């Protein structure tokens, strides 16, 4: 009796919630976390505040800026809109563009300052917006929309140097031939107006900029310009924000397109034992922007080698107090051991697990079934490793030759996932375009029965184009959150 109570107490205090890149993240009300291309600002109590673009079906721009709070970067409590669109307003009406919001505390003004890319729907204004609030969660009041030092401003980022507290804006100056640079410009001491250009990344034509700082270096991450299609994000390094900056390099394995994500923000988490640097990226879905996912991953930084990489983990546990993160171990089930039905079949693939990948997954009668899967009776994250070689347009390089499938490009296929033959509850698995021979994963939160007799059946669903599912390599079943 005594011991079981003690155990209950112990489990109640260790409420680990995992970070699962690319999953459907639910807030504490059960709704999808809706804060795209934003930032995470830490208040003086150590609470994390996530700000981002609010998008719903039928209103993917001009929806305002949403805000969530969290103590662990995994459990998100919604607080509605921090910046609400105002009908008829020249800069924040629902017809306007309110993109990539960033929030910083102005010690001098004793206010929180929100800056963003302010524009009209045809991106003809290229301004930076400012709104302020006395409290971090808002509501923020519009102050101005201005041209930074008289120039254009597109994708917006903000960086605060932890050594001297100075803030900087990062912005690309548009797509015109005279533009195509990325500016790094210092704010005045109150983080209100831009004062002085620290560096210009000349003619790289990059966007979605962010800077992460270590004790010795600054690393600037940016993506290429390929619209909502992901590409290989690059990083530059420097000892000083004024430069000289290094040549750029690609931060994740080639052809994964940064695990199907775009850069946008980074967070330095200095814990009692370790400092962890998080890549905070967006996995845009141009077919349904409001369902776009989040790719948050720890980065490996080696200042001696002057190198930074973004590493993939399906599921990890981040302790924001110690700064340590722990990749969660799962159990793997291979497609080579699974059963195929209909026209689905296993095909030789030297890049796949056991040299075999399951393909021809089509509609609901050409399926693959994994069996003997061990479950806990609680919801568990399960990662589906697949190849989707439709090869969307642009390939890796902006302007590169697309290797099209059926004359068009598709950002994703969709599979149906059925647990234990229960067709009443079909889960939709979005399988983003990878590349030929590149295997990536998408997680789903599924409830398996307790015991070792579970089956998971994967078929194809309509993605607006075809009813094909992607080729499957394996699934990995993770333990439930405590
Ligand atoms: C910190 O927490 C206290 C107590 O909950 C609260 O009154 C205060 O506003 C918080 N400070 C910030 C900066 O959020
Ligand atoms: C956006 O602003 C530009 C520059 O003023 C203008 O040419 C363009 O017509 C505007 N677009 C819309 C939809 O108002
Ligand atoms: C505006 O941008 C252009 C292109 O990068 C540059 O030549 C010009 O110096 C910039 N002007 C200012 C005031 O920064
Ligand atoms: C199987 O797919 C067909 C065609 O897409 C559809 O009409 C049918 O309802 C599906 N059956 C089940 C059991 O899902």
| Those residues with Cβ within 8 angstroms of residue 98's Cβ, 6 or more apart along the chain or in another chain | 53, 61, 62, 63, 64, 65, 83, 85, 92, 116, 117, 118, 129
Is the confidence at residue 319, as pLDDT, over 70?
A: yes
Which option is the CATH number for 15-327: 3.10.20.30, 2.115.10.20, 3.90.550.10, 3.40.50.1860? 2.115.10.20
pLDDT in tens, 103-151: 999 999 999 999 999 999 999 999 999 999 999 999 999 999 999 999 9
pLDDT in tens, 36-55: 999 999 999 999 999 999 99
Is the confidence at residue 14, as pLDDT, over 60?
A: no
Q: What is the mean pLDDT of residues 335-348?
A: 98
Fold agreement (15-327, 331-477): no
Q: What is the mean pLDDT of residues 438-465?
A: 95
Side by side, the strands of the sheet bearing 307-310 are: 262-270, 275-283, 293-302, 307-310
Q: What is the pLDDT of residue 396?
A: 43
The residue assigned the tokens 């992901």 is: 230
The residue contributing the CA closest to ligand 4 atom 6 is 364
CA 461 / ligand 4 centre spacing (Å): 9
Judge if the beta carbon of residue 305 lies within 6 A of ligand 1: no
Is the confidence at residue 339, as pLDDT, over 80?
A: yes
| CB contact at 8 A, 350 and 436 | no
Where exactly are the structural domains of the chain?
A: 15-327, 331-477
Categorize the per-residue pLDDT at 391 as very low, low, confident or very high, splitting at 50, 70 and 90: low
Please choose, from the candidates 235, 225, 239, 214, the residue with its C-alpha nearest in 3D space to the C-alpha of residue 284: 225
Judge if the beta carbon of residue 214 lies within 6 A of ligand 2: no
What span, in angstroms and rounded, lies between the C-alpha atoms of 266 and 209?
10
Judge if the beta carbon of residue 214 lies within 6 A of ligand 3: no
The residue contributing the CA closest to ligand 1 atom 7 is 45
Check if CATH label 3.40.30.10 holds for domain 331-477: no
DSSP strands (E only) in 120-172: 127-133, 141-146, 156-160, 167-172
Please choose, from the candidates 38, 33, 37, the residue with its C-alpha nearest in 3D space to the C-alpha of residue 23: 33
CA 92 / ligand 1 centre spacing (Å): 29
DSSP letter at 330 equals: -
The residue contributing the CA closest to ligand 4 atom 4 is 363
Ligand closest to CA 110: 1
Q: How many CA atoms lie within 13 A of 424 on its CB side?
A: 0
CA 69 / ligand 1 centre spacing (Å): 12
Judge if the beta carbon of residue 110 lies within 6 A of ligand 1: no
Nearest-atom number in ligand 1 for the CA of 44 is 13
Please choose, from the candidates 438, 19, 472, 461, the residue with its C-alpha nearest in 3D space to the C-alpha of residue 230: 438
DSSP strands (E only) in 31-126: 36-42, 48-53, 65-70, 77-83, 97-106, 111-119
Judge if the beta carbon of residue 45 lies within 6 A of ligand 1: yes
Please choose, from the candidates 421, 420, 429, 424, the residue with its C-alpha nearest in 3D space to the C-alpha of residue 460: 429
| CB contact at 8 A, 68 and 50 | yes
Judge if the beta carbon of residue 43 lies within 6 A of ligand 1: yes
Please choose, from the candidates 337, 340, 355, 251, the residue with its C-alpha nearest in 3D space to the C-alpha of residue 298: 251
Average pLDDT score over the chain: 93
pTM value is: 0.93
What span, in angstroms and rounded, lies between the C-alpha atoms of 279 and 154?
21
Polymer length of the chain: 482
Judge if the beta carbon of residue 181 lies within 6 A of ligand 3: yes
Mutate to test the pocket of ligand 2, among 88, 93, 117, 124 (most ligand atoms within 8 A of CB): 124
Is the confidence at residue 220, as pLDDT, over 70?
A: yes
| CB contact at 8 A, 335 and 356 | yes
| CB contact at 8 A, 236 and 247 | yes
Is the confidence at residue 213, as pLDDT, over 60?
A: yes
The percent of residues in the chain predicted with pLDDT above 70, rounded, is 93
| CB contact at 8 A, 255 and 438 | yes
Q: With 0-12 CB in 10 A as exposed, 13-18 as middle and 19+ as buried, what is 135?
A: exposed
Pocket of ligand 4 (CB under 6 A): 363-364, 423
Q: What is the pLDDT of residue 408?
A: 52
* CA separation, residue 70 to residues 137, 146, 196, 403 (Å): 12, 32, 34, 42
CA 308 / ligand 3 centre spacing (Å): 30
pLDDT in tens, 256-308: 999 999 999 999 999 999 999 999 999 999 889 999 999 999 999 999 999 99
Is the confidence at residue 68, as pLDDT, over 60?
A: yes
Ligand closest to CA 118: 2
């Amino acid at each position: 009796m005594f011991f079981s109570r003690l155990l209950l107490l112990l489990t109640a205090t260790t409420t680990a919630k995992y970070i699962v890149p690319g999953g459907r993240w639910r807030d504490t009300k059960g709704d999808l976390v809706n804060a795209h291309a934003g930032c995470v600002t830490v208040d003086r109590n150590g609470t994390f505040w996530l700000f981002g673009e609010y998008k719903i079906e039928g209103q993917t721009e001009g929806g305002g800026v949403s805000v969530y709070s969290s103590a662990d970067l995994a459990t998100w409590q919604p607080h509605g809109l921090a910046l609400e669109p105002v009908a008829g307003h020249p800069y924040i009406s629902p017809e306007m563009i309110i993109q990539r919001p960033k929030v910083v505390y102005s010690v001098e003004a004793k206010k929180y300052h929100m800056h963003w890319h302010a524009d009209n729907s045809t991106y003809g204004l290229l301004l930076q917006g400012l709104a302020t609030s006395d409290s971090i969660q808002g509501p923020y009041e519009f102050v101005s929309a201005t041209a930074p030092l008289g120039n254009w401003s597109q994708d917006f980022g903000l960086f605060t140097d932890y050594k001297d507290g100075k803030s900087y804006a990062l912005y690309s100056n548009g797509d015109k031939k005279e533009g195509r640079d990325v500016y790094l410009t210092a704010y005045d001491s109150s983080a209100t107006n831009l004062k002085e250009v620290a560096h210009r990344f000349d003619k790289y034509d990059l966007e979605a900029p962010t800077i992460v700082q270590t004790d010795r270096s600054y690393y600037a991450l940016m993506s290429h310009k390929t619209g909502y299609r992901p590409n290989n994000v690059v990083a530059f390094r420097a000892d000083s924000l004024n430069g000289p900056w290094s040549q750029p390099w690609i931060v994740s394995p080639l052809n994964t397109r940064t695990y199907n994500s775009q850069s946008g923000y980074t967070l330095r988490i200095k814990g009692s034992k370790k400092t962890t640097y998080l890549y905070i990226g967006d996995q845009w879905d141009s077919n349904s922007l409001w369902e776009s996912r989040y790719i948050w991953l720890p980065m490996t930084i080696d200042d001696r080698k002057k190198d930074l990489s973004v590493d993939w983990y399906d599921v990890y546990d981040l302790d924001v107090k110690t700064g340590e993160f722990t990749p969660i171990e799962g159990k793997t089930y291979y497609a080579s051991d699974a059963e195929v039905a209909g026209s689905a079949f296993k095909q030789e693939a030297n890049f796949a697990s056991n040299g075999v990948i399951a393909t021809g997954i089509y509609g609901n009668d050409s399926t693959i079934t994994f069996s003997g899967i061990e479950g806990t009776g609680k919801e568990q994250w399960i990662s589906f490793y697949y190849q989707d070689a439709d090869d969307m347009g642009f390939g890796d390089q902006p302007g590169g030759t697309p290797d099209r499938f059926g004359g068009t490009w598709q950002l994703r296929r969709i599979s149906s996932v059925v647990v234990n033959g229960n067709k009443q509850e079909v889960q939709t698995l979005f399988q983003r375009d990878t590349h030929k021979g590149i295997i990536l994963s998408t997680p789903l939160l599924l409830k398996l029965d307790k015991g070792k007799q579970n089956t998971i059946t994967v078929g194809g669903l309509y993605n607006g184009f075809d009813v094909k599912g992607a080729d499957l390599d394996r699934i990995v079943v993770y333990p439930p959150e405590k």
